[in-house]
Amino acid sequence: MKVTLFGATGAVGGECLKQCLEAGHAVTALVRTPAKLPPELRERIDVVEGDGLDPACVAEALGEGTDAVLFAIGVDMKSGADLCTKVTRNILEAMREKGVRRFVFCGGGSTIVAEDQVTLGARIVELLTRVFMGLRHRDKEHQLELLESSKDIDWLGVRPLQMRRGPARGEYRIGFHPYSGLSKISFADCAHAMVGMLGDDTWLHKAPIVQY
């Protein structure tokens, strides 16, 4: 499969890149700073230098024959408002123009959806993230709202909770199970779930929680 990856230099995106190559996928990565890519991986992919906020760069990254998009852009306190939402809008427009259907993304565990089993723990996660990581929380909510209004795209993804370094176990829960602020997942297993969705329609038009 030919995959375009956004966020390849981040913690989740770096794992997506490595696992895509291990699975035999051909990867194009749009990055602002190619030097941040591991040299041993950079040599094995097509790199487009540019910014996801630039529609022209996004269109260039979705080259001929692209089958799917992996979205692993993260948000921190330095990110502008709605970074993920704006880049996603550019990607969706380019996908429509080029006939690309599959979009797999990494959302946020503090975004509550209708299918969730909303426990006190889930409400605490939402409250704390809204207060202390409001920029990220709002962006991920807006990104999901944009996707939910884009049923012409075959989108799906995961909502991780606390993420940390660690090896890929390949064993985790994915679905609308109860969760709390103690729930966690490694970057590697979050990426494992995302890469698996490239060829699996189980969660089409949904974004389940991924956790151990």
Residue type, 161: L
- 121-141: pLDDT as tens digits: 888 888 888 877 777 889 999
Cα–Cα distances in angstroms (integers) from residue 178 to residues 12, 123, 172, 209, in the given order: 23, 11, 14, 9
Tokens of 128: 């704390």
CATH (domain of 89) = 3.40.50.720
* Confidence at residue 121, expressed as pLDDT on a 0 to 100 scale: 84
Instruction: Judge contact between 70 and 194, C-beta under 8 A.
Output: yes
Cα–Cα distances in angstroms (integers) from residue 193 to residues 32, 51, 60, 112, 169, in the given order: 25, 26, 27, 19, 11
> Looking at the predicted structure, is the pLDDT value of residue 72 above 90?
yes
Residue 151 confidence class, pLDDT cut points 50, 70, 90: very high
> Average pLDDT of the chain?
95
Q: Which residues span the domain enclosing 152?
A: 2-211
Q: How many domains is the chain built from? A: 1
- Residue of 117, 111, 116, 124 whose CA lies nearest to 180: 124
The average pLDDT across 33-59 equals: 97
pTM: 0.95
* Confidence at residue 80, expressed as pLDDT on a 0 to 100 scale: 85
Specify burial of residue 42 (Cβ count, 10 A radius: 0-12, 13-18, 19+): middle
Instruction: Please tell me which residue, 127 or 10, carries the higher pLDDT value.
Output: 10
Residue 68 confidence class, pLDDT cut points 50, 70, 90: very high
